[in-house]
Amino acid sequence: MDKKKKITLKDIAEALNLTPSGVSKALNNHPRISDATKKAVKEKARELNYQPNLLASALRKGRSNLIGVIIPRAKSNFFSSVVEKLEDVLNKEGYNIIMTQSNESFEKECRNIDALIDTQVCGIIASMASDTVDLTYYNKIISTGIPLVMFDRSDEKLEADYIGIDDYQSSFKVIDHLYKQGCRRIAHIGGYKHTRIYNQRLEGYLDALKKYNLPIENNLIIESTLKIEDGRQAMTQFLKLDKKPDAVYAAGDFAALGALQVLKENNIAIPQDIALVGFSNELFTSLVTPTISSIEQHSNTIGQLAAEILLDKLKNPNKTTEPSKTVLDIDLIIRETSKK
339 domain-assigned: no
Q: Are residues 41 and 83 in the same domain?
A: no
For residue 63, what pLDDT is reported?
59
Q: In 3D, which of 97, 148, 88 has the Cα closest to residue 119?
A: 97
CATH number at residue 158: 3.40.50.2300
The mean pLDDT value for 303-317 works out to 94
The mean pLDDT value for 285-311 works out to 97
pLDDT surpasses 90 at 141: yes
Q: Are residues 261 and 238 in the same domain?
A: yes
4 domain-assigned: no
For residue 61, what pLDDT is reported?
56
Which range of residues forms the domain containing residue 28? 9-52
Q: Are residues 174 and 29 in the same domain?
A: no
278 domain-assigned: yes
Q: Are residues 104 and 248 in the same domain?
A: no
340 domain-assigned: no
CA 35 to CA 45: how far, in whole Å?
15
Q: Are residues 158 and 206 in the same domain?
A: no
For residue 319, what pLDDT is reported?
81
Write b or e for each residue in 113-151: b if 16 or more Cβ atoms lie within 10 A of its Cβ, otherwise e.
beebbeebbbbbbbbbbbbbeebebbeebbeeebbbbbb
Torsion of CA 152, 157, 161, 167, to 10 degrees: 30
Contact 74, 101 (CB under 8 A): yes
pLDDT surpasses 80 at 34: yes
Of 6-15, 88-97, 138-147, 163-172, the least confident: 6-15
246 domain-assigned: yes
Tell me the C-alpha to C-alpha distance, in Å, between residue 309 and each of 62, 128, 136, 316, 324: 22, 18, 23, 11, 9
pTM summary value? 0.79
Model confidence at 4, pLDDT cuts 50, 70, 90, reads: low
Report the domain count for the chain: 3
Q: Are residues 181 and 219 in the same domain?
A: yes
For residue 8, what pLDDT is reported?
86
336 domain-assigned: no
For residue 2, what pLDDT is reported?
45
Model confidence at 3, pLDDT cuts 50, 70, 90, reads: low
Tell me the C-alpha to C-alpha distance, in Å, between residue 219 and each of 48, 127, 183, 238, 260: 66, 30, 17, 8, 19
Q: Are residues 188 and 289 in the same domain?
A: yes
The mean pLDDT value for 317-335 works out to 90
Q: Are residues 177 and 289 in the same domain?
A: yes
Model confidence at 49, pLDDT cuts 50, 70, 90, reads: confident
Q: Are residues 129 and 172 in the same domain?
A: no
For residue 1, what pLDDT is reported?
38
The mean pLDDT value for 13-32 works out to 87
46 domain-assigned: yes
Q: Are residues 45 and 151 in the same domain?
A: no
Q: Which residue has the higher pLDDT, 12 or 234?
A: 234
pLDDT surpasses 80 at 101: yes
2 domain-assigned: no
Q: Are residues 185 and 290 in the same domain?
A: yes
pLDDT surpasses 50 at 259: yes
Q: Are residues 175 and 205 in the same domain?
A: yes
Of 45-49, 162-166, 198-202, the least confident: 45-49
